């Protein structure tokens, strides 16, 4: 692998990557979808790699580098395609609407709802993902918080922190944890070692904010929503798909993405029977078109992952990640490096950061890999723009939840971050 860190192609690639990332950060201002600049940047960076290697007489080696990254992205893409399709199907079957209606009809006070929505966000994000969970809980907060802007603000902050924390201790809760699992750095059950640190990460700021939540009670609301036929079957098959993916990796030593694709087959067959029964009974609600749920996948997000993974991978081929690894992990040590990387995820998306760490592949203990999984998963909670959950809720809640309203409580979330790291270092000391 050539060292291109001081080569004109390498320097130009860094400029291209930074320019693309600036456009990603200001997506709300420019209205340029985030996938477009990073896809362009990825293509240009690899073109410069090809030119530099060809001029140096090593052009035949670039294919192997690119093929390795294509394999990594392909596994991630297929896994996410199936997971998102199941989530879309549950939404189409009105599963999330039923959950929201039940929560709205409980008649709890603001403080009770604050605790309940946060706790549910923490639990559900480990099964679904932090973005979907935050949006579902956000609709509950907005439905009941029309009379109290303060409740909306604090409830949204709690949900963002809880969603990110809950997604950190399972391979399915966040893209970064999925990447760590697929890379083989941690086994499926290993992630649960950071359950307690993840819980502390939410409980500390939630406990502080609890006393700022209004003590009143929202006006009771009654909303009747009926799930479409087959909803329970979809949920059961989703759970079975997760079991299949884990079994493929742990027992058959096959990529978990293959297990997820088998799970997509489960859904397709279930949709076939629902469609047949719906046509026989003339019940349109029973009909499930699984292909239409695949079409609803957020392609902007999947293509953004493509651009980021290939752009960062290209910078790694040029030697920049080896340089960063030397500065962080060799000079500072893995503990401080992992804490810093996690804190950076509040400003820089955690996906390129985690992919960079996995590409650097520093020599770390089991406990250190758990630490970077924890910090990269929860560090983005310190700013509203630090995670997909925060960005999505800002768009959903508008004036009720903003960058500045979140920033006022960053100190409390930061205390949770420090407490989570301390808890991990204490309870999982034997893994270091």
- Report the candidate in 97, 73, 70 with the shortest Cα–Cα distance to residue 228: 97
Q: In the predicted model, is pLDDT for residue 323 greater than 80? A: yes
Q: 53 falls in which pLDDT band (50, 70, 90)?
A: very high
CB-facing half-sphere around the CA of 324: CA atoms within 13 A: 20
Q: 43 falls in which pLDDT band (50, 70, 90)?
A: very high
- Report the candidate in 103, 199, 142, 225 with the shortest Cα–Cα distance to residue 392: 142
Q: For 117-134, how does the pLDDT look when each residue is reduced to its tens digit (9 = 90+)?
A: 999 999 999 887 788 888
Looking at residue 197, its pLDDT comes to: 97
Q: In the predicted model, is pLDDT for residue 80 greater than 90? A: no
Looking at residue 337, its pLDDT comes to: 94
- Report the candidate in 321, 400, 314, 389 with the shortest Cα–Cα distance to residue 349: 389
Distances in whole angstroms, Cα of residue 180 to Cα of each of 283, 325, 351, 353: 44, 17, 11, 12
Looking at residue 428, its pLDDT comes to: 95
Q: Are 221 and 146 in contact (CB under 8 A)?
A: no
Query: Which of the pair, 78 or 289, is modelled with greater confidence?
Result: 78
Looking at residue 206, its pLDDT comes to: 96
Separation CA 203–CA 196 (nearest Å) = 10
Q: What DSSP designation does 213 have?
A: S
Looking at residue 195, its pLDDT comes to: 96
Q: Are 221 and 143 in contact (CB under 8 A)?
A: yes
Q: Are 49 and 69 in contact (CB under 8 A)?
A: no
Phi, psi of 387 (to 5 degrees): -150, 160
Looking at residue 237, its pLDDT comes to: 95
Looking at residue 96, its pLDDT comes to: 85
Separation CA 136–CA 145 (nearest Å) = 14
Task: Express as a percent the part of the chain with pLDDT over 70.
Answer: 100
Looking at residue 406, its pLDDT comes to: 93
Q: Are 234 and 267 in contact (CB under 8 A)?
A: yes
Separation CA 256–CA 260 (nearest Å) = 6
Separation CA 144–CA 243 (nearest Å) = 36
Q: 365 falls in which pLDDT band (50, 70, 90)?
A: very high
* Gyration radius of the chain over CA positions: 22
Q: Identify the top-confidence range among 29-33, 62-66, 350-354.
A: 62-66
The position carrying tokens 């998306």 is: 349
Distances in whole angstroms, Cα of residue 204 to Cα of each of 52, 131, 293, 349: 51, 21, 38, 23
Handedness of CA 421, 423, 428, 432 (dihedral sign): positive
What is the mean pLDDT of the segment spanning 376-383? Answer: 93
Looking at residue 116, its pLDDT comes to: 94
Query: Which of the pair, 302 or 391, is modelled with greater confidence?
Result: 302
Q: 31 falls in which pLDDT band (50, 70, 90)?
A: confident
Q: What DSSP designation does 332 have?
A: I
Q: Which helix (H) or strand (E) holds 262?
A: helix 256-281
Q: 139 falls in which pLDDT band (50, 70, 90)?
A: confident
Q: For 220-249, how does the pLDDT look when each residue is reduced to its tens digit (9 = 90+)?
A: 777 788 889 899 999 999 999 999 999 999
Separation CA 168–CA 20 (nearest Å) = 27
Q: For 255-270, how does the pLDDT look when each residue is reduced to its tens digit (9 = 90+)?
A: 999 999 999 999 999 9
Looking at residue 160, its pLDDT comes to: 95
Q: Identify the top-confidence range among 73-77, 180-184, 368-372, 401-405.
A: 368-372
């Amino acid at each position: 692998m050539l060292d291109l860190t001081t080569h004109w192609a390498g320097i130009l690639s860094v400029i291209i990557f930074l320019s693309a990332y600036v456009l990603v950060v200001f997506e709300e201002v420019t209205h340029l979808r985030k996938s477009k600049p990073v896809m362009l940047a990825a293509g240009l960076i690899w073109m410069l790699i090809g030119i530099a290697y060809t001029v140096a007489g090593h052009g035949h080696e670039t294919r192997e580098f690119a093929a390795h990254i294509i394999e990594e992205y392909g596994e991630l893409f297929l896994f996410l395609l199936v997971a998102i399709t199941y989530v879309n199907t549950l939404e189409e079957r009105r599963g999330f609407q039923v959950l929201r209606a039940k929560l709205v009809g409980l008649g709890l006070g603001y403080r009770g709802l604050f605790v309940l929505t946060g706790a549910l966000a923490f639990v559900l994000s480990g099964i679904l993902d932090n973005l979907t969970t935050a949006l579902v809980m956000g609709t509950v907060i907005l439905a009941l918080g029309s009379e109290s802007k303060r409740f909306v603000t604090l409830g949204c902050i709690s949900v963002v922190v809880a969603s990110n924390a809950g997604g950190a201790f399972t391979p399915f809760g966040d893209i970064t944890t999925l990447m760590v699992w697929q890379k083989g750095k941690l086994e499926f059950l290993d992630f649960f070692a950071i359950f307690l640190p993840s819980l502390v990460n939410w409980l500390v700021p939630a406990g502080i904010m609890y006393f700022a939540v209004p003590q009143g009670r929202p006006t009771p609301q009654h909303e009747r929503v009926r799930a479409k036929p087959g909803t329970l079957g979809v949920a059961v098959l989703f759970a079975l798909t997760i079991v299949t993916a884990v079994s493929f990796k742990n027992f058959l030593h096959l990529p978990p993405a293959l297990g997820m694709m088998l799970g997509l087959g489960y859904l397709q067959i279930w949709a076939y029977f629902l469609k047949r029964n719906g046509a026989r009974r003339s019940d349109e609600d029973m009909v499930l078109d699984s292909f239409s749920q695949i079409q609803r996948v957020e392609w902007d997000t999947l293509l953004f992952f493509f651009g980021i993974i290939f752009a960062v991978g290209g910078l790694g081929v040029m030697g920049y990640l080896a340089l960063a690894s030397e500065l962080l992990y060799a000079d500072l040590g893995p503990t401080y490096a992992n804490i810093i990387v996690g804190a950076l995820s509040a400003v820089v998306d955690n996906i390129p950061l985690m992919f960079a760490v996995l590409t650097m592949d520093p020599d770390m203990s089991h406990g250190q890999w758990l630490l970077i999984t924890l910090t990269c998963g929860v560090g983005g909670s310190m700013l509203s723009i630090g995670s997909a959950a925060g960005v999505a809720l800002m768009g959903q809640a508008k004036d009720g939840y903003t960058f500045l309203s979140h920033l006022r409580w960053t100190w409390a979330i930061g205390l949770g971050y420090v407490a989570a790291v301390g808890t991990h270092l204490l309870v999982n000391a034997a893994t270091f």
